[in-house]
A and B are shown apart, each in its own frame.
Chain A
């Protein structure tokens, strides 16, 4: 089975984000980047499919030189090969999907896995766009997966319940937390990753359709208010929650 996992290099969940000087991007200095946590689940699922059916796992990422850190982690976890679509320009989901699908066409894989969203811009658009561009079926927010004789059975998380769907390989899936627990890269895997190839490919087209106009941080939280410390203050607290904050 030829398995492709598309991975993104995103700021650490604990990173303190500052807006960059142009007001349209973030200030990247001092930020630690990680493999997007949902994509990590996709990598794990890819490795489990390989362990079951044989074949190879190819990780692919679009971005700058530093995306290699994330690709290196996928190799350390056990991916066989990595491809960096090298491009530093700012892209929208459509142009990323276009660049990815142009390359994915050549790879001709049985299954393409994504995390359900990247935790940086949260667009959740790539899996659907890529599936459309490749004319493949897609299933989103997958929490359970079974594959037998090209038949794909997925469970999706939906509001208030689960939905079971069927499709066929080749397919594009976006995975959700709960599908599987990502493994730690083994120390042996990390050492072996050194010798695995990260293939760099240039990407020419940047057919952006959406432009970022501005970025701003959410308003900072106001200071707290202490109503009082005696039991009698409880009544006043309830009144304020009811009349001012209007939350009870």
Chain B
């Protein structure tokens, strides 16, 4: 048992980094994505492969991607975070409330909103991290509980009525704003995803994340502070959920109390489609990006083709199960 651990956790730098960036099954996935794009483009060359439509899809994927960056770290440690949608809504409410109190419609107000959103997310991340890492309660149960608590708190604060008093400059500047033709939301998301991917692939923090997921026992013996690292990972997921809440506020100009109920499962499905193992220790950010984008492309393509959007869920479910089946086959072949 102990002999296999070092090779699993820390293979030689080059291949490890390459596989961390590319992920194990992401090339096949990229192929799936290309086939989908080619198919929809051939079916509706007038509507699907348009710049406007592509930017549309990128915008649709952006908030999910921000959540998925944190989610990838969490799942790589072998944990799970179901609370991200509740934390997203809660952070959005806190940010909106903070901006209402500050008043005004200028950059400092927007900054106050962002800081409060991140603090709100960090608070829930700290609760999750403490209960999972220190009290050692299963992550599924902790985050199931904090999902109910964060969503419930958001409803309590707002009394169930969405706060739509959002500064115009936030909605116009970030929500629907563009920089050289590219939506600001997409640029912000791209920066977060790239930073998240680089940290995961090239820093000690990223390496520890893989190591903790591969074998917490081996990490403990290598005197890595496992509980401390888990705490940081859940904190990161919380902060990113806060950022996502802020972006959602900017995009929809309201707190969307009931608009994110399935975000957590969509994000987990995307991460798993992207080849990150729910048992932790293997996967990567590139796969996550492709895994989140495939369902978005499917939905968009179905709408463009005029198919009922409900079939998208059938397709996503099938892709999800197909992806794990493929992963299983690959593992079996490798182990042979």
Instruction: Say if A and B assemble together.
Output: no
Interface residues of B (CB under 8 A from A): none
- A residues touching B (Cβ–Cβ < 8 Å)? none
